[in-house]
Amino acid sequence: MSKRAFVAIVGPPNVGKSTLLNSYLGMKLSAVSPRPQTTAQNILGIMTTNEGQLVFLDTPGLVQRSGAIYEFMRGQIDLALADADIALVMVEAGYEPSDEFAIFVRSLKKIVVLAINKVDLVKDKLELLPLIERYKELGLLEIHPVSALSSDGLTPLLNTLMVLAPEGEPYFPAEAPTTYPMRFFAAEALRESLFELYGEEIPYSVFVEIDEYREQEGRKDYIRAILYVERESQRPIILGKGGAAIKRLGTRARQKIEALSTRPCYLELHIKVAKDWRKDDGFVRRATKPPEAYLPE
Ligand SMILES: Nc1nc2c(ncn2[C@@H]2O[C@H](COP(=O)(O)OP(=O)(O)O)[C@@H](O)[C@H]2O)c(=O)[nH]1
Ligand SMILES: [Mg+2]
């Protein structure tokens, strides 16, 4: 009998949740950046081995901010946890468990595995021992120091997840790394590129919508993306002098999309203003319709 589990990767912003997913899948599915709240929607990634199948859901970081987009992000975490067999809670080395964190962990009615990430930054690994003790005091039993970046400790963590996974047939066919459509990852690639190329509020102020994604036999795929900004004054920043900045954005995102789809594409970008969309429940609800084919059946 083989194993299978839905594994929700949850934790504070910026600890390396998306990097972990990408490491396990060996591909750049989930956007990564040195800044918090890069992931806004859950990303589903499937890992199938000889032992079984783990269906990871990479989630936005836990934050206590108000506004429609943050409520949406918290909803995403709740959704991932509701479906999960295992909660893979991730923190980073040096992160002391706060009271809120303790409450969060106790609220999880799941098998919980803790990954303490970024141990590559800790010179003296003995420093980790008191930290591990403090997490044990919260009732956490499975604790794995890892480095998602250098893949340190990822195999033992994977083995633990497989051991804890319920028995059963795989949820999805073994070949596919995800059930989300390519258009979803096109938006993710644009999002990551925005974080790489623009400072301050800009990446957070842009909502990326893939308006059209047309696969074309014998020619480049055609992708049209709308970048919704919160204010008219953000348009010239995105464009840059003589359109240089948006050109760079388009080129970078296109390269990421092509690397994932392994097909050449033509990427067209448009800017629209959706005033203060981050606070607008209606906009967030409309704009964040989840991708289809999320769960089997
Ligand atoms: N040094 C180090 N940096 C890491 C590691 N994992 C992730 N990072 C970096 O931490 C930042 C946040 O990573 P990301 O995966 O976007 O975090 P998320 O917000 O939890 O999804 C990025 O700059 C990553 O390159 C790690 O194991 N070691
Ligand atoms: Mg992330």
CA of 226 to the centre of ligand 2 (A): 22
CA distances to 59, 85, 195, 296 from 172, rounded to whole Å, are: 20, 15, 32, 7
Instruction: Answer whether 3-164 and 182-287 agree in fold.
Output: no
Residue 203 Rama label (left phi>0; alpha psi -120 to 50; beta): alpha
Q: Which residues pair with 47 in a beta bridge?
A: 54
Distances (CA, A) of 132 to 14, 94, 127, 138, 187: 20, 10, 9, 10, 37
Contact residues of ligand 1, CB 6 A cut-off: 13-19, 32-34, 38-39, 61, 117-118, 120-121, 147-149
Alpha helices in the chain (DSSP H): 17-25, 68-83, 99-107, 128-137, 154-164, 182-197, 202-205, 235-239, 244-261, 281-287
| Burial letters 241-259, b for 16+ CB under 10 A, else e | eeeebbeebbebbbebbbe
Mutate to test the pocket of ligand 1, among 32, 35, 39, 63 (most ligand atoms within 8 A of CB): 32
Q: Map residue 94 onto helix, strand or coil.
A: coil
In CATH, the number for domain 3-164 is 3.40.50.300
DSSP code string of 139-163: T--EEEE-BTTTTBTHHHHHHHHHH
pLDDT of residue 35: 85
Q: How far does the centroid of ligand 1 lie from the alpha carbon of residue 273, in Å? A: 31
- Å from CA of 36 to ligand 2 middle: 8
Q: Which atom of ligand 1 is nearest to the CA of 37?
A: 19
For all residues of the chain together, what is the average pLDDT?
Answer: 91
Residue nearest to atom 2 of ligand 1 (CA): 118
Question: Which atom of ligand 1 is nearest the CA belonging to 21?
Answer: 15
Q: Residue 34 C-alpha to ligand 1 middle, in angstroms?
A: 7
Q: What pLDDT is recorded for position 255? A: 97
Closest C-alpha among 19, 10, 15, 39 to residue 104: 10
Low-confidence ranges of the chain (pLDDT < 70): 1, 290-297
Angle subtended by helix axes 244-261 and 182-197, to nearest 10: 140
- Every domain of the chain and the residues it spans: 3-164, 182-287
Contact 240, 246 (CB under 8 A): yes
Alpha helices in 198-279 (DSSP H): 202-205, 235-239, 244-261
Q: What pLDDT does residue 67 have?
A: 84
Gap from CA of 230 to ligand 2 centroid (Å): 22
Sign of CA dihedral 234, 235, 236, 240: positive
Q: Give the number of the atom of ligand 1 that is nearest the alpha carbon of residue 14.
A: 19
Residue minimizing CA distance to atom 14 of ligand 1: 16
Q: What local confidence, expressed as pLDDT, does residue 295 receive?
A: 45
Q: Among 3.40.50.720, 3.40.640.10, 3.30.300.20, 3.30.530.20, what is the CATH number of 182-287? A: 3.30.300.20
Atom nearest to 32 CA in ligand 1: 16
Rounded-to-integer distance, Cα 216 and Cα 219, Å: 6
Atom 7, ligand 1: residue with shortest CA distance? 16
pLDDT at 290: 64
Q: Please name the residues in contact with 42: beta carbons below 8 A apart, sequence gap of 6 or more.
A: 57, 58, 59, 60, 76, 79, 80, 290
Nearest CA to ligand 1 atom 22: 34
Residue for token digits 């506004």? 67
